């Protein structure tokens, strides 16, 4: 999909995290869309085709892991990289990662600057191009 700026889908049921992450990414020049649960996020991902998804693990209706598994099953989102936000000390095993497009995991609490840095790395790996702030 041709667009001027990379599109990032941020998914979290905590509105303050959505706000902080979205603000940091927007100020860095990215277009951002948000969802508060995995089901809403899947609909948005299939419609908007984001360049990167940042998702919380634990959410109502559909977890971040379930979201990433579902995205992997759709041709249009199968290769969309995902950054998973998790509670401190929580990890994903190799089987879970193989079923998904999760390429990075970041524990909460996190720095918005660290999220931005990881998004830039994901985009540069996928396209060879990134926006620098």
Give me the CATH topology for the region 7-125: Rossmann fold (3.40.50)
Confidence of residue 130 (pLDDT cuts 50, 70, 90): very low
Predicted TM-score (pTM) of the model is 0.88
Instruction: Map the chain to HEC letters.
Output: CCCCCCEEEEECCCHHHHHHHHHHHHHCCCEEEEECCHHHHHHHHHHHCCCEEEEECCCCCCCHHHHHHHHHCCCCCCCCCEEEEEECCCCCCHHHHHCCCEEEEEEECCCHHHHHHHHHHHHHHHHCCCCCC
- In this prediction, residue 104 carries a pLDDT of 85
Residue 46 has pLDDT above 70, yes or no: yes
- In this prediction, residue 120 carries a pLDDT of 94
- In this prediction, residue 91 carries a pLDDT of 67
Domain ranges of the chain: 7-125
- In this prediction, residue 89 carries a pLDDT of 59
**pLDDT, the chain, mean:** 88
Residue 132 has pLDDT above 50, yes or no: no
Higher-confidence residue of 2 and 10: namely 10
For the segment 53-59, the average pLDDT, to the nearest whole number, is 93
- In this prediction, residue 86 carries a pLDDT of 86
Confidence of residue 51 (pLDDT cuts 50, 70, 90): very high
Higher-confidence residue of 56 and 133: namely 56
């Amino acid at each position: 999909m041709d667009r001027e700026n990379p599109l990032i889908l941020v998914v979290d049921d905590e509105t303050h995290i959505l706000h902080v992450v979205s603000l940091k990414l927007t100020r860095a020049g990215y277009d951002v869309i948000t969802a508060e649960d995995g089901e809403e996020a899947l609909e948005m991902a299939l419609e908007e085709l984001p360049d990167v998804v940042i998702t919380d693990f634990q959410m109502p209706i559909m977890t971040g892991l379930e979201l990433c598994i579902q995205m992997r099953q759709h041709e249009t989102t199968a290769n969309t990289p995902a950054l998973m936000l998790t509670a401190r000390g929580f990890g994903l095993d190799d089987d879970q990662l193989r079923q998904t497009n999760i390429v990075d995991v970041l524990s909460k609490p996190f720095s918005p600057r660290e999220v931005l840095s990881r998004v830039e790395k994901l985009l540069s790996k996928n396209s060879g191009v990134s926006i620098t702030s």
